[in-house]
Amino acid sequence: MAALQARCVLLTGSNRGIGLELVRQLLGGPHPPTHVFATCRDPEGARGKELRDLASKHPNLVLVKLDVADPSAIVSAAKIVEEKLNGAGLNLLINNAGIFTPVSLETVDSEEMIRAYKTNAVGPLLMAQAFLPLLKKAAQDSKEKRLSCNKAAIINISTLLGSIERTPESYFKPVISYRCSKAALNMLTRCQALTYSEAGILCVALHPGWVKTDMGTQEADLTVDTSVRGLLSVLPILSEKHSGMLLNWEGKAIPW
Ligand code: NDP
């Protein structure tokens, strides 16, 4: 089986849940990256403790403060990462941070819609804009001809709940703000794929499954370990033919 060999990886929302497990498994994998930039809102505080413990054992792990709902914080984080990379590019940007509020059509209000949209859709858009020069650099420096996660890629962690076609089967959970913001993220992924493929950057949306995290709750189907193992085995097989698609943690396509 192909293995992920991306040299420099950056993740958002990496202090707990799927993001933290992605960091753990990337560091413990057969080809650990030379740099893992684990970003989160509060790396110095209580919420960053597990990441700090990991960083004390892995010199290739760099913690960066980043709130994806704050456009100026995104620009500052990109500057910090550029300095640390010292002329190298960023191979893999994983937009993982997300929020979920259990609201229905009756209970949702404009503030909640905008809050979800800012974090789940606008954040990934601004992240890609800010990190584009570093992703382009990685694509240019790579010897690989084809699009791949080892060369340069943006992975947007999305959800089945953002699939318009599959809505009737999951609508018993309305979660309106979450669904609409993730449907927007799916559209963003397709637009990014059409725009950035010329620069050698692969753009794909991935659904991690229903996962036992704070968001997914303990009723979920998958352990975080199983979901992340799945996601990390899908990343190295992604190529042109997956550009702009939504796939699940087993690599199966999900309709828009
Ligand atoms: P969790 O709620 O367990 O973790 C969410 C992470 O996102 C936390 O690290 C949180 O940081 C971070 N985050 C939230 N808002 C921001 C922000 N503004 N800036 C930076 N970081 C932020 O969720 P999961 O790990 O379960 O979910 C990860 C991704 O997977 C999400 O995009 C989610 O939509 C998606 N997903 C999850 C599913 C599941 O079943 N769990 C199913 C389908 C998709 P903090 O600690 O600071 O709040």
Kindly state if the Cβ of 17 falls inside 6 Å of ligand 1.
Answer: yes
What's the mean pLDDT in 1-13? 92
Kindly state if the Cβ of 210 falls inside 6 Å of ligand 1.
Answer: yes
In this model, does residue 53 exceed pLDDT 80? yes
Average pLDDT, whole number, for the chain?
97
Confidence at residue 174, expressed as pLDDT on a 0 to 100 scale: 96
Residue nearest to atom 47 of ligand 1 (CA): 41
Q: What percent of the chain has pLDDT over 70?
A: 100
Count of beta carbons in the 10 Å neighbourhood of residue 56: 9
Residue nearest to atom 9 of ligand 1 (CA): 13
For 20-37, the DSSP string reads: HHHHHHHHHSSS--SEEE
In this model, does residue 99 exceed pLDDT 80? yes
Q: What percent of the chain has pLDDT over 90?
A: 98
In this model, does residue 103 exceed pLDDT 80? yes
What's the mean pLDDT in 200-224? 98
In this model, does residue 211 exceed pLDDT 90? yes
Atom of ligand 1 nearest to the CA of 20: 9
For residue 146, the SS3 value is coil
Confidence at residue 1, expressed as pLDDT on a 0 to 100 scale: 63
In this predicted model, what pLDDT tens digit does every residue of 24-41 receive, in sequence order? 999 999 899 999 999 999
Confidence at residue 30, expressed as pLDDT on a 0 to 100 scale: 87
Kindly state if the Cβ of 106 falls inside 6 Å of ligand 1.
Answer: no
What's the mean pLDDT in 62-82? 98
Confidence at residue 2, expressed as pLDDT on a 0 to 100 scale: 79
Confidence at residue 83, expressed as pLDDT on a 0 to 100 scale: 98
What's the gap in Å between 143 CA and the centre of ligand 1?
Answer: 34
Which pLDDT band holds residue 172 (cuts at 50, 70, 90)? very high
**236/12 Cα distance (integer angstroms):** 20
Kindly state if the Cβ of 170 falls inside 6 Å of ligand 1.
Answer: no
**99/120 Cα distance (integer angstroms):** 7
Instruction: State the pTM of this model.
Output: 0.98
What's the gap in Å between 218 CA and the centre of ligand 1?
Answer: 15
Exposure string over 76-99, b if 16+ CB within 10 A, otherwise e: ebbeebbeebeebbbbbbbbbbbb
In this model, does residue 140 exceed pLDDT 70? yes
Are 231 and 141 a contacting pair, CB within 8 Å?
A: no
